[in-house]
Every structure is written in C-alpha cells, then in structure tokens.
Chain A
Amino acid sequence: MKLRLFLFLAAISVVLAVVAAPLRPARRPRYGGTLRVEIGTIVRSLDPSVAANPEEADAKDELDALLYDRRSEDGTFVGAAGSGVFRLSAWEAEKSAVFAANEDYRAGRPFVDSIEVQMGRSTHERLLDLELNKADFAQIPAELARQAADHGVRVSASQPDELLALVFLKGRTATENARVREAIARCIDRAAIVNFILQKEGEPAGGLLPQWSSGTAFLFPTETDARSAKEIWTQISPSPKLVLGYDSVDTLEQSVAERIVVNAKEAGISLVSRAIPNPGTASAHAGSEALRGDTIHVDARLIRLRMPSPMPRVALAAFIDVLGPLGGIEAGPLPENASPEDIYNSERSIISGGRVAPLVWMPQVYGLSARVRDWKQPVAGESWPLADVWLDSTTDAR
C-alpha cells in the first residue's frame, strides 16, 4: 500500500516537473514592449551643457546615458543626442520623458521598444506603483529595501558601493583638536546604524573602501568604543559644543545624525544636529563646492560618496577629490599601478588623520516588476543597463 502511494506521488512529481519546466524563465531574450520607469528627482533638461543641480545630477546622468553613444574618460558624453541606444521621442520638462529604441545603434538595438520615465515620484509613490505593478523599474532607498520586499516588491541590491561618512570641515576651530575628532569617531555605534536605521541593508564602514573592492577593509575597526571616547572627552578642556550638519532633504542622513547625537550624549560629548538647506546630495564625481553648507555654521557634516568604479584605486582617488577640499585632507596621488599595499597605506593615512569618519556602506537598491528579465545590477560607476533588459510577455503588466 505504502509502495503504491509512494509510486503515485513520485509520478505526480515527475508530471508536475515536466509541466512546470516550460514555465521556467527562458534565457533567450525577447524584443518589444515599454519599460515603465519612475524616478524621484525632477530633471529640468537633458542637455549636458545645461548644469544640473546636485539633486538632479545622478538622474540626469542616467537618462543622458540612454541618449548618448558613450562617455569619454572624464565622464562627459560623446556623440550627438540620439546617437545612443535610445532616442528621445517625447519630453515634458520636470514631468516625463519617452525614449524610443534606436534601431541603428552600433551595439544593437535595445530589447524594449521604448522607455517611459515619470519624474518627481516620491518614495512612497514609487513603492506603491511597484507593488501595484504600475511601474517596472524604480530606485528604492536602501533603508526601505526590506519593507519593499515584505510588500512583495522584487528587490535587487548591488554590492555596497555608497559610503556615508562624517567629515570634519576644514577651518572649524572646534574640530581642529584631533582629540575632539577622535572622541566623536570612537563613540559612534555603526552596527546600530546598520541594524536599525538601514534595516540591515548595508555594513559598518571603518575604511574608505568596501571589503569587496579593496580586500583590506577588515583591517579598519568598526566597533564603538564609548568608554575611551568618554575618557578622551574628559581630558579636553574647555570642551567645545559641536554642530553636526545633514542634508535637509535626506531623511536617512537626518536619522543617522540624530543617532550620532545620541551616541555622543552617552559619551558626554556636546553635539547637536542641524539641517543644512539645499546642499544637494554628493557623489564622488560631483563638485565639492555644493557640499560645504556654509550658509549655516556646522563643524562636521554627513556626506554620501558613491564609488565611480569598482577598482579601489579609482574609487579612492575620486573620494580624495571630494574629501580633500571639504575636510582639508591631503593625500598624494596614487600611481596607475598602485598595489593593494599602496592603496591601503593611503587609506590608512587619511583615516588616522581623523578628518573623516566612515560610517556605513550602502548598496544601490532597485525595485523591479516581475516581467523585467535580465536586469543586472550595474557595477559601481556603470549606468543603469536598461538596454539589456527585456520584458517577459508571459507576465503581463496590469
């Protein structure tokens, strides 16, 4: 009897496996369809000669990457608009854009026929549209990745390639004392920032490069040391009152700044947080002038640094370009053939100078609809590879 039951169940399993097999995703891409993309920022113009404000720079860069053939070594776009994998077929400034496949693109036409981009969609709207299958692709803040996945959104996260760091600004009397900087850097509970604020979507940072890129991040400690921070602070007389700035439109920076204030209080350090209006979000290849936040007095500020390349030498050089003028960090140029030891020594020299305190590494997180196939997370510095994705017609958009 048991044998018969076993044979019956085995037969059912085989039939189910055979029936289910064709439903498995095919590896061969299909052409056609419209990819619906939502972005949070508002892009005023796609013309590369029109300067973008820091908030729209990243999004504009992504859209321009669809239109232009390629980039030159300095990151500027090469060719005429429309020489890229897509051509602009409709444009409503600050609202929407439609890109049509360029049939004559030298590396082959994209798989999708067109891309519709909706701009200025809030995080909540983007998440909701992904949940309701009204959008195919949207970027999600790292701290909301878990929540999005819990709501059934298909989530794709990159290697952690964005550093959130605290920079002690150049020329501020209060932080010229290295012991002051050391006390603050030691009291920060990075693990708590990762676990509670980022919802475990990230990792504590002790160095300026992530472990997957440099291979040496493990040499930089990330543990909190509130006791020694307290000891150091008691030796400083008179103890200064410090102000930590954060981007007023960046809710993650605000949460992290408030958390650092709590850590500082526990160590007896007098630190308050303050929003800096309109400094914009920074990327390693953005200019550093916009990052200063000179309109309101702050002694230190939080800064986001995105790796422009997975290669440790390139990423570190770009970070130094931003951190140098901001924090008065001086570091010699890295040679083309810099060894891991050269890169580690340069990194260690900056960290031991105490002008920058790395906090956490965050990934780039994207929400995708079920019909998007062959989405590959862009490597640090790459644009969204939307030309390579295709839409599975067996999973219709609603």
Chain B
Amino acid sequence: MCNWHKPMRLLPRFFLRVIISLAFFATTVWSSQVQSTLQMPPEWNKALDSLADKIGTTAKPAKTFSLDVRNISSLNADDVSSLRRTLVENLTGLGLTLTQRMPADAQLQLTLSESAEDYVWVTEIRRGGAREVVMVSAAREIVKNPSSAGPSVTLQRKSIWEQAGKILDFGLVSDAVAAGSSILVILEPDKLSFYEYRSGEWQLTRAVAVARVRPVQRDVRGRIDLPAGKAELADAECSGNFQRPETVTCSSVAAGYDAAFVTKPIFMQGRTVDSYVTLAPACGIGPLTLVTGPGDWTEPDFIQAFGLKNQAGAVSEKILVPGPILALWASEDGNSARVVSRNLQTGAYEASIVSVSCGD
C-alpha cells in the first residue's frame, strides 16, 4: 500500500482540526464562564462585596494590586475563576487597578478555604513589610459539577435545609401554590414539621407529632407525597392539605413491612444498585436514571446520571456528597430528585434537590 501522499492531504485537515478545537475550546471556556457568573449565588456576591470592601480599607492608600488565588476548598475550577473575576471587578470599582508589573502597591493572596460550616475566603494583604489578613464566610449553597465535553447532562445539587435530627424526606410547596410564602415540609421519625419562608429565612410554623404504640424502628423510612397530601412511614401516616399545615394530622397505623420505601435493585455498571430514581426524559437522551454510589452509610457518596435505555455510559459527571445518601426520591414533575444525606464532617442531616440541565 502506497500512502506517500497522506501527509500532504493531512496538512489542511490538521489545521482544520486545530481551528475547530480552538473554536470549541473558546466556546466552552466562554460558555462555562458565563454559566458560572450567572449561577453564582447572590450570597457569594454579597460576601465578595464585603471582602473587597475590607481589602480596599486595609490596603489604603494602595493604587495597584496583584492577585494570587489558591483554592484549598471543595470549590471547582469554574467557581474559582468566577470568584476571582468578580473580586477583581469589585476591587476595580473601588479604584484599585490590577497590575502584572511587580511590585504592586498591595500584593493580595486570596485563599479559598472552608470550615466545618461554610466557605471561608481569606485574603492576605502584603504592603511593604506589613501583612494583614481579612476574610469573609460564604454559604456552601451550591455544589456544581465541572463542565466537560463528554457528558451532555449537568447535575446541580442545591441544599435546602440541614438539621441535627434525622430527616426521612422533605417537600417544598412553592409560594405560587401556597398562595403566600413557600412552605418546607420536613418528615422526621417522630414528627412532621412545617416551615414558612418569611423575612429571608425558614420559620417553624407547625410541628405535628407522630404518635406511636411502639417505639420507632431505628432504620425507619418515610416518604412525603405532596400532591396526595400524605406523609407515610411504616407504622404511621400523616394526611391533610400540605398547603394549609393546620389541616394536617398524623396517626399510627398497623406496622407493616416497609416495602413501599425500598426500590427493586437493578444491575448496572457491574454492580447491584439499590438506591436510584428514574427521571423524566431530558436533553434528548430519554428518561434518566440517577444512581448513588456503592458505599455504605459510613462513606461519602455521589449521584450520577445514566440514560435509562443505555446504561453503559454515564451521561453526567458525578456530584459528590459529603456523606451517605439516605433517601432519594423523584420529584412530582419527574424533573428533579429529592436527596436526604448525612454530612459525615458535621453529622448534620441535609435535604437537597438535584436538578438536571442540558448542555456542556
């Protein structure tokens, strides 16, 4: 086989590939930047405003600054670049100018760290021989997955609620439905609690005790069915109009096998999966299966999406969860999933919603 002419034919194709790759890369970078900026929670913007103010005050009378960013937290690269860009914009707005020319009037080292509670963003300001430290904290509200060219579905986990006591399930009645403020319903082993969103925070409005003849099982499971106005446990049931908490009552029922709360295991990815949900068709893939990790209740967990028809390959990156996922239920519209997990670092039970969006 004579293929001496191939290099000549490949040359233009090579350039074409380079151009396409560069265009793709540029588009990916641009879109991820736009996406990150758009998705940055308002609390983070507030925290960055506050950090910029502190830096501006401490660095006075500096006119120029250099900025070095180090990430030692669970934030991903997109978040880091987005936070850096926003901080630079804020500092520029305060009359400071970012310079590459050394030495700048103030050398800033931004460290994105995290504590047991929140993100902690620390700036060390070096000016002359002096070193000052300023910092702010920001809620760990959103855990996003890094965008990549491979999977075509993006999972986002939004934390809704956390508490020390065990959570079995939760539900959100939006303000549109509840005619006023949103209602958060938390099902616990011994009570059903209703919170209303008022003045920027959830406030407990009612807690209905779950009366029992026998003590609750240690591995009790439960589920809230908002449209049906029901919260079910193996040995108790609460019912009423969840948009009007005062109508809800709980009563003991004959304890039975809690099969209703156990999903039938499926075999995929070379393992038996007993914690999963099926969501509505999305992103042109068809129905999605959200699957949790193979560990037990002692390990961090993850959620990953697979196509229902072809379960061979994941269609999303993994969303890491800092503790075992204890309950996973599909939402009423089938477009998102309710997740209850336990944070192994803090011991708190966390309620969060995992939603699906399309694109890289």
A residues bordering B, Cβ < 8 Å? 17-18, 21-22, 24-25, 27-29, 103-111, 156, 159, 211-216, 218-219, 310-312, 339-341, 344, 373-379, 382, 387-388
The residue that A218 contacts in the complex, of B111, B190, B216, with Cβ under 8 A, is B111
Complex Cα distance, B28 from A173, in Å, reads 66
B347 near A215 with CB under 8 A, answer no
For B73, what are the chain A residues with a Cβ–Cβ distance below 8 Å? 215
Q: Is the CB of A107 within 8 A of B114?
A: no
Task: Please pick, from A25, A109, A111, A216, the residue contacting B135 in the complex, using a CB distance under 8 A.
Answer: A216
Determine which of A110, A159, A219, A374 lies in contact with B133 in the assembled complex, contact meaning CB atoms within 8 Å. A219
Q: 7 new A-B pairs (CB below 8 Å) besides A310-B346, A374-B298, A387-B218? A: A21-B270, A22-B272, A27-B297, A212-B345, A215-B114, A216-B122, A218-B72
Contacts A216-B135, A374-B298; A108 near B219 (Cβ below 8 A): yes
A–B pairs, 16, beta carbons within 8 Å: A18-B267, A27-B274, A105-B215, A211-B113, A212-B116, A214-B120, A215-B118, A218-B72, A218-B113, A310-B345, A312-B117, A340-B120, A344-B133, A344-B135, A373-B296, A375-B298
Give A378's nearest chain B residue, CB to CB.
Answer: B347
Q: Is the CB of A376 within 8 A of B297?
A: yes
* Interface set, chain B 117-146, CB cutoff 8 A to A: 117-120, 122, 124, 133-137
Residue in contact with B215 in the complex, picked from A107, A218, A341, A373, CB distance below 8 Å: A107
Collect the chain B residues with CB atoms within 8 Å of residue A109's CB: 215, 217-218
* Residues 233-275 of B at the A interface (beta carbon under 8 Å): 262, 267, 270-272, 274-275
A216-B122, A344-B133 known; A104 and B294 CB under 8 Å?
no
Task: Name the 7 nearest CB pairs between A and B, nearest first.
Answer: A108-B218, A215-B120, A215-B115, A379-B347, A215-B113, A310-B116, A21-B272
Given known contacts A218-B72, A374-B298, A377-B298, is B262 in contact with A28 (CB within 8 Å)?
Answer: yes
Number of cross-chain contacts by CB at 8 Å: 118
* Residues of chain B with a CB closer than 8 A to A216's CB: 113, 115, 120, 122, 135
| Residues on the B chain within 8 Å of A212, using CB | 115-116, 345
Q: Which secondary structure characterizes the binding site on chain B? A: loop
Which residue of chain B has the shortest Cβ distance to A379 in the bound complex? B347
Residue B220 CB within 8 A of the other chain: yes
Say yes or no: is B307 at the interface (Cβ < 8 Å to chain A).
no
- In the complex, what residues of B have CB within 8 A of residue A378's CB? 347
* Bound complex: CA A215 to CA B136 (Å): 11
Tell me whether B344 is interfacial, beta carbon within 8 Å. Answer: yes
Which residues of B have CB within 8 Å of A219? 122, 124, 133
In whole angstroms, what is the CA distance A35 to B136 when docked? 46
B298 to chain A, nearest CB (A): 5
List residues of chain B with CB within 8 A of the CB of A159.
345
Establish whether residues B216 and A340, one from each chain, have CB atoms under 8 Å apart when the complex forms. Answer: no
